[in-house]
Each structure stands twice: as C-alpha cells, then as structure tokens.
C-alpha cells in the first residue's frame, strides 16, 4: 500500500503515548495557565441576539475585555453594533421589561470604553426612530456597513 510510509510514523508516535484508562478522570493532567496581559485592543461585536441570555453574554464578554485591557478609553475601544433581534431591548417602550439589562448596558458605556451603535435601517423596519431608543445608543445608517468600516478604516477586530 502506498500510504504505509505515512501511517508508520503516526503509529509509532501513538504507541509512545501513555495509555488512557477510562477510570482516570484527568488522563492528560490539568490545564496550564498563561499569564497574559492585553492592551490596545479595538473590538466590534456584531450583536443580533433577541434573547436576554444572548445579549447578557455579549455584555459579559465586552466587560471582561474592557477589564483585561485596563478599562482605559485612550488604549482600547469596544463597539457593540446592534441590529436584528437586539434592537427591541433598547427601545424606551420596553424599558420596564428590560430594566436590569438596560441599566447594565448603560453602565458599561460610562467611561467611553464601550459604545453602542444601532442600525437605523433595521430600527425603522421595526417601527423605531432615534427618539424611541435609549440615549446612550448612537444610530448609524446600517449595521453591516458600520462593522465593515470599523474593521477596514479603524482596525477593529470582529467578534460575534
């Protein structure tokens, strides 16, 4: 067989590894921590989640990135671009229903590290105008175009 020359070295390597026993709960030991520092990161979150859990996850991740970067507005920037199912959370008429989530979102925007930009086109399709959205949100003409602009013109990394 012409593949034997490729399989033999692989078989030799796997035979050197210690056998894995089903009863051993950690056959490879434990993970190693890497002491890593972060700074100067610019991140754009593409956020369409229409669930509280989904939006909370984005807020958690944005908050952690901010903390890991020292929460310095001169050194890092996080833009959360809102469209699709995420829009109704930020509508003033839904404040009572989303009060805790909106207080958390607004608190992350204090200090100018985290910023919210909402798709005006998608908001209009949902019957919402800028006057209908909480004041800590900025409206942009189109979410997708803003995400592309942030990546191409300002060097932001894309996260979903």
Query: How far is 11 from 37, CA to CA, in rounded Å?
Result: 39
Query: How far is 101 from 89, CA to CA, in rounded Å?
Result: 8
Domains with residue ranges and CATH for the chain: 42-159 (3.40.1260.10)
6-34, pLDDT tens digit by residue? 555 554 455 455 555 667 899 999 999 99
Determine the pLDDT at residue 75: 84
49-63, pLDDT tens digit by residue? 999 999 999 999 999
Determine the pLDDT at residue 132: 98
**Contact 38/64 with Cβ under 8 angstroms?**
no
Residues of the chain scoring pLDDT < 70 = 1-22
Helices (H), the chain: 4-16, 52-68, 99-109, 120-125, 143-154
């Amino acid at each position: 067989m012409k593949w034997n020359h490729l399989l033999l070295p692989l078989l030799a390597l796997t035979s050197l590894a210690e056998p894995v026993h089903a009863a051993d709960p950690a056959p490879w030991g434990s993970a190693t921590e890497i002491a890593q520092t972060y700074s100067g990161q610019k991140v754009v979150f593409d956020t369409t989640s229409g669930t509280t859990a989904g939006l909370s996850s984005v807020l958690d991740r944005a908050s952690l990135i901010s903390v890991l970067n020292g929460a310095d507005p001169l050194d890092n920037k996080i833009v959360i671009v809102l469209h699709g199912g995420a829009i109704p959370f930020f509508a003033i008429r839904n404040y009572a229903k989303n009060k805790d989530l909106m207080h958390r979102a607004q608190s992350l925007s204090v200090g100018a590290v985290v910023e919210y930009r909402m798709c005006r086109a998608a908001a209009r399709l949902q019957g919402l105008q800028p006057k209908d959205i909480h004041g800590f949100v900025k409206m942009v003409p189109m979410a997708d175009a803003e995400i592309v602009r942030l990546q191409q013109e300002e060097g932001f990394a894309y996260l979903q």
